[in-house]
Chain A
Amino acid sequence: DILMTQSPDSLAVSLGERATINCKSSQSVLYSSNNKNYLAWYQQKPGQPPKLLIYWASTRESGVPDRFSGSGSGTDFTLTISSLQAEDVAVYYCQQYWTTPYAFGQGTKLGIK
């Protein structure tokens, strides 16, 4: 099974500043045939289900603000929020969909400094 490990577990950033969350998979999730990374990022606010932000490691889902961006390939990935807004306070999860069992990271709790 693939293990997803996020860092840090929690993070506090000032409003308007950059937030960076890392995700490492225990195996590569890059499919060489189509050069796509089978990696997604989700945002979860209290009492709500996860919301898809990024798929294919770097493609923003429709309606997601462009301050959210994803990068990385193979086993190392990053979610960046370029200018933190108050509504971005949430827990963020990465997920691999390369193989079953699909696995999520343990989450990174993002707050305001």
Chain B
Amino acid sequence: EVQLVESGGGLAQPGGSLRLSCATSGFTFGRYWMNWVRQAPGKGPEWVANIKYDGSEIYYVDSVKGRFTISRDNPNNSLYLQMNSLRADDTAVYYCARVSHRTVDDQSRWRDFDIWGQGTMVTVSS
């Protein structure tokens, strides 16, 4: 069974840091683009960042550039999000999500998100 399990969320002060982890299983992690997506309370999802299957390409939404760092450890099937200089508007549930493969050799990043974790809550407040 394909699984994504996030951890590391919690309460942080404005200006503080948190490191989120996403443990994966049931698929060949090192062949897939992966994303972090967040959802503030009562709002729609917001894409945060993604990383190529080999870690050689990384993209961020403008609002987190310079503050968040996405990374991955393929031998350990894990995805990470280092969040620094946290702000109140970073408060959200953070999901890791897999980019789909629509053909056998498909490794494009321009695909839907077919598997999502259950999410981890990040609250930024003093």
Contact-residue size bin, chain A (C-beta under 8 Å from the other chain) = 20 to 34
Q: Is A101 an interface residue (CB 8 A)?
A: yes
Contacts of A98 in B (CB 8 A): 110
Verify B116–A55 contact, CB threshold 8 A: no
Which residue of A40, A56, A101 contacts B47 across the interface (Cβ within 8 Å)? A101
A101 to B119, CA, bound (A): 20
A51 to B119, CA, bound (A): 13
Q: Is A77 an interface residue (CB 8 A)?
A: no
Chain A, interface SS category:
loop
A61 to B101, CA, bound (A): 12
Of the 9-residue stretches A14-22, A81-89, A103-111, which lies at the interface with chain B? A103-111
Verify A103–B116 contact, CB threshold 8 A: no
Contact-residue size bin, chain B (C-beta under 8 Å from the other chain) = 20 to 34
Q: Is A38 an interface residue (CB 8 A)?
A: yes
Verify B112–A49 contact, CB threshold 8 A: no
Shortest Cβ gap from B110 to chain A (Å): 6
Within 8 A of B (CB), among A48-97: 48-52, 55-56, 61, 93, 95, 97
Which B residues lie at the A interface, using CB under 8 A?
Answer: 35, 43-47, 50, 59, 61-62, 95, 97, 100, 102, 110-114, 116-119
Query: Could you show 26 A-B contacts with beta carbons less than 8 Å apart?
Result: A42-B45, A48-B118, A51-B116, A52-B100, A52-B112, A55-B100, A55-B102, A55-B114, A56-B102, A93-B44, A93-B45, A95-B45, A95-B113, A97-B110, A97-B111, A97-B112, A97-B113, A100-B50, A100-B59, A101-B47, A102-B47, A104-B44, A104-B45, A104-B46, A105-B44, A106-B43
